[in-house]
């Protein structure tokens, strides 16, 4: 046991020596943080997400009157998020950068930065783009598992989308009980840019009720 503990301690020490804590106190240090940055280590797993650490550090710098460092942290955080195929940051997180820039009085640069963010992330202004991506992924999963039924969930103020909420559809159109999934779901991703639509595989037997019309069954799921 002592030998095992000794080995683990040496392994941990070796890892920590290779680990890196980035300089977030100077412009040069922040700009030098690589993209991607995979080797950040604070010793706390909850704080090892460098993009999140930078967001928190930006708040700290702003509070201390160091807007230049705060802006640099947010810019680097955005860059790290953009590197990922599925960005870590939400729209509100990205937009902290132009908001902080605006605090310096440079409204033109703030507007330019905001425009660049929306150019890189058109899904922020048109939710349907995100809907389509997630819907296509779920439909692919359903096809692989040979499950023909999906259930739709909507969230928002669109009256047309609300009518689709909790409805159950067939992907192939071969079901005698459930209608074919409408094109506004899997082709359009919604009726307008603010629609929130998601789909999930539906298994009647698991719901313990495979009889009745789609609306009745859907209502019993909730």
Q: What is the pLDDT of residues 187-213, one digit of tens each?
A: 788 888 888 888 888 888 775 444 444
| 183 alpha-carbon distance from chain centroid | 25
Both tokens of 1, joined, read 């046991």
What are the tokens at 166? 């909790």
Q: How far, in Å, CA of 15 to CA of 39, rounded?
A: 10
Q: Name the token pair of 167.
A: 């409805």
CB atoms within 10 A of CB 124: 17
Reported as a single tens digit per residue, the pLDDT across 63-80 is 999 999 999 999 999 999
Considering only residues 208 and 173, tell me which one the structure prediction assigns the higher pLDDT: 173
Burial per residue of 88-111, b for 16 or more beta-carbon CB atoms within 10 angstroms, e otherwise: bbeeebbbbbbebbbeeeeeeebe
Q: Show Cβ contacts of residue 165 under 8 Å, excluding neighbours closer than 6 positions.
A: 152, 153, 154
What's the rounded Cα separation, in Å, for the pair 220 and 215?
9
Write down the mean pLDDT value for the chain. 80
Query: Distances in Å between the alpha carbon of 67 and those of 60, 81, 102, 104?
Result: 10, 21, 10, 8
Length of the chain: 222
pLDDT tens figures, 101-147: 999 999 999 999 999 999 999 989 888 888 888 888 888 888 888 88
d(CA 183, CA 192): 14
Per-residue pLDDT band for 62 (boundaries 50, 70, 90) equals very high
Q: What is the pLDDT of residue 5?
A: 46
Token look-up 């019309």 returns 213
Query: Is the pTM of the predicted complex or chain greater than 0.75?
Result: no
Asked whether the beta carbons of 36 and 43 are under 8 A apart, the reply is: no
Predicted local distance difference test score (pLDDT) of residue 182 = 86
Domains of the chain by residue range:
13-122, 127-220
What is residue 32's predicted lDDT score, i.e. its pLDDT? 93
The residues that bridge with 172 in the sheet, in sequence order, are none
Q: Give the residue with greater pLDDT, 56 vs 38.
A: 56
Say yes or no to pLDDT of 14 above 80: no
> In the chain, what percentage of residues exceed pLDDT 70?
78
Inform me whether the pLDDT recorded for 215 exceeds 60: no
Tokens of 91: 């729209």
User: Which tokens go with 191?
Assistant: 């009726």
């Amino acid at each position: 046991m002592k030998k095992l503990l000794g080995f683990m301690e040496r392994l941990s020490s070796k890892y920590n020596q290779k680990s890196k804590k980035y300089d977030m106190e100077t412009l040069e240090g922040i700009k030098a943080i690589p993209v991607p940055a995979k080797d950040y280590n604070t010793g706390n797993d909850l704080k090892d997400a460098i993009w999140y650490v930078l967001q928190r550090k930006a708040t700290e710098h702003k509070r201390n009157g160091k807007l230049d460092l705060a802006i640099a942290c947010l810019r680097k955080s955005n860059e790290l998020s953009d590197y990922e195929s599925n960005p870590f940051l939400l729209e509100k997180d990205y937009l902290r950068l132009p908001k902080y820039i605006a605090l310096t009085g440079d409204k033109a640069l703030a507007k330019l930065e905001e425009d660049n963010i929306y150019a890189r992330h058109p899904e922020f202004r048109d939710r349907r783009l995100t809907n389509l991506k997630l819907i296509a992924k779920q439909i692919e999963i359903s096809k692989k598992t040979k499950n023909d039924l999906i259930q739709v969930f909507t969230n928002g103020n669109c009256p047309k989308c609300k009518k689709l909420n909790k409805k159950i559809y067939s992907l192939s159109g071969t079901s005698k009980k459930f209608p074919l999934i409408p094109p506004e779901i899997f082709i359009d991703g919604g009726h307008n840019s603010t629609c929130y639509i998601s789909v999930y595989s539906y298994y009647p037997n698991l719901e313990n009720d495979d009889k009745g019309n789609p609306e009745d069954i859907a209502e019993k799921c909730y």
